């Protein structure tokens, strides 16, 4: 199938690369000339494991190319995926201006299209509020009399594992305007579900809601376990033991139930706020989702209070080293990252900040230029008063603790991801703070790990 992917962000690039991998001819269209130039030169504008190699293979095979030329991108195409950003407005509602601009471009392209060609599929893959895909269709119909098929195809890609998620999906969800559209999409996606997972064909509004309902549920699980972790601290319980006792129940499971600093990134914060915004637009208060968002934001403040309390609220001359900037491992995405919130708090109170992240420090330099960034995880510790662990990158799990101890001024670690053993911290002489577990003070015996 000849496919045009509009937008070369996480969704557009991964979707385009994967669809080319299974034999389609894909053109990725973007108005950002610098980004297209990068892609043409073999560089990826985003960090996603496996993506540069996938792009290079498909470009070499002639199945994938990149352009800023709209007329070239839309010419004789069979399917158009809209994969542009839908950022949150101040009230949390999704901003659809980029989606609607693309819809106008598609209408203009359809007007130039030969009547001898079959009507193309217009597929909204951007995450949009319920009813938005129909709005796209209505806009196109107001601008042209040419026929097209309309669909919604939500993405369920985890940053850091996006290629695997696309190529081996739990399910593919499609919202369609008519039965014929659904059959064409089933054919397109069939190579991805040969292991038996379903292509689920729904009406368009239900398909749009699936995306929000899924992300809101996962965000809810994260906020739930973080609230329980805070409760554990108040009562002297250990969240690790509580977690084991809970998650062995098959009804509960263990996915997205890890205590930490809360969710971040481009999806959960935006989509939770969008659900709240959709509810208010309909005169309905999504009480649970409001609470999920509040708990998530409070979790960062709660953890910051541990740092603030340790230093007695006086950060004059205090230097903090941060391990991890991205909101999760295996990505350079720092959008809504907990580390950013903690760094801003520290800077506002007069502390100096040094940071290391395997891939995200370039983004951090643009976001908070005041932070000193380092390329070595131990060098960043030199002369600092404490280490703050914000992202559970693999290299942080088994560090050289002697190096940490000798490079820091004081043996103090604030672990926002619970990756270290309390007993080990006690044995090595560290003062240690984590999430949902009692702190380690050298005068107190540690009874659990």
Residues serving a catalytic function are: 267
- Any idea which residue has 């699936």 for tokens? 210
Contact by Cβ (8 Å): 134, 204? yes
Inter-helix orientation angle 132-143/97-111, to 10°: 40
Report the DSSP beta bridge partners of residue 200: 173
CA–CA gap between residue 110 and residue 108 (Å, rounded): 5
* DSSP per position, 176-192: ESSHHHHHHHHHHHGGG
* DSSP per position, 55-75: HHHHHHTTSEEEES-HHHHHT
Picking from 411, 400, 352, the residue whose alpha carbon sits closest to that of residue 377 is: 400
CA–CA gap between residue 91 and residue 281 (Å, rounded): 11
Return the structure tokens found at 25. Answer: 């001819």
Q: CB-hemisphere CA count at 13 Å for 436?
A: 24
């Amino acid at each position: 199938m000849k496919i045009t992917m509009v937008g070369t962000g996480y969704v557009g690039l991964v979707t385009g690369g994967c669809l080319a991998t299974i034999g389609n001819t894909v053109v990725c269209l973007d108005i950002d000339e610098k980004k297209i130039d990068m892609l043409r030169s073999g560089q990826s504008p985003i960090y996603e494991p496996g993506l540069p190699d996938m792009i290079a293979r498909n470009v070499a095979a002639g199945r994938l190319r990149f352009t800023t030329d709209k007329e070239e991108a839309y010419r004789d195409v069979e399917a158009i995926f809209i994969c542009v950003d839908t950022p949150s407005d101040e009230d949390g509602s999704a901003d659809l201006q980029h989606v609607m601009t693309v819809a106008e471009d598609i209408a203009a392209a359809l007007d130039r299209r030969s009547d001898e060609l079959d009507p193309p599929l217009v597929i909204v893959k951007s995450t949009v509020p319920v009813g938005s895909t129909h709005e796209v269709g209505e806009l196109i119909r107001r601008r042209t009399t040419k026929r097209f098929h309309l669909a919604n195809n939500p993405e369920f890609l985890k940053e850091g594992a996006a290629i695997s998620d696309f190529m081996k999906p739990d399910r593919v969800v499609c919202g369609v305007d008519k039965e014929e559209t659904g059959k064409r999409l089933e054919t397109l996606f069939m190579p991805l579900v040969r292991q038996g997972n379903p292509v689920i064909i729904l009406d368009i509004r239900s398909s749009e809601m699936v995306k929000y309902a899924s992300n809101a549920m996962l965000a809810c699980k994260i906020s739930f376990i973080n609230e329980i972790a805070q409760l554990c601290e108040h009562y002297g319980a250990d969240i690790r033991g509580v977690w084991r006792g809970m998650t062995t129940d098959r009804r509960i499971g263990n996915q997205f139930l890890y205590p930490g600093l809360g969710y971040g990134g481009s999806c959960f914060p935006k989509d939770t706020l969008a659900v709240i915004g959709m509810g208010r637009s309909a005169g309905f208060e999504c009480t649970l989702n409001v609470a999920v968002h509040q708990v998530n934001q409070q979790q960062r403040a709660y953890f910051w209070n541990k740092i603030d309390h340790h230093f007695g609220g006086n950060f004059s001359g205090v230097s903090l080293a941060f391990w991890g900037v991205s909101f999760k491992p295996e990505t350079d995405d720092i959008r809504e990252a907990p580390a950013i919130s903690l760094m801003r708090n520290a800077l506002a109170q007069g502390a100096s900040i040094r940071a290391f992240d395997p891939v995200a420090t370039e983004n951090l330099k643009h976001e908070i230029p005041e932070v000193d960034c380092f390329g070595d995880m131990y060098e960043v510790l030199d002369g600092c008063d404490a280490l703050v662990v914000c992202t559970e990158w693999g290299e942080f799990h088994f560090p050289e603790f002697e190096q940490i101890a000798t490079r820091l001024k004081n043996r103090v670690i604030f672990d926002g991801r619970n990756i270290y053993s309390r007993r080990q911290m006690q044995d090595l002489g560290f003062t240690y703070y984590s999430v949902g577990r009692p702190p380690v003070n050298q005068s107190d015996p540690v009874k659990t790990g």
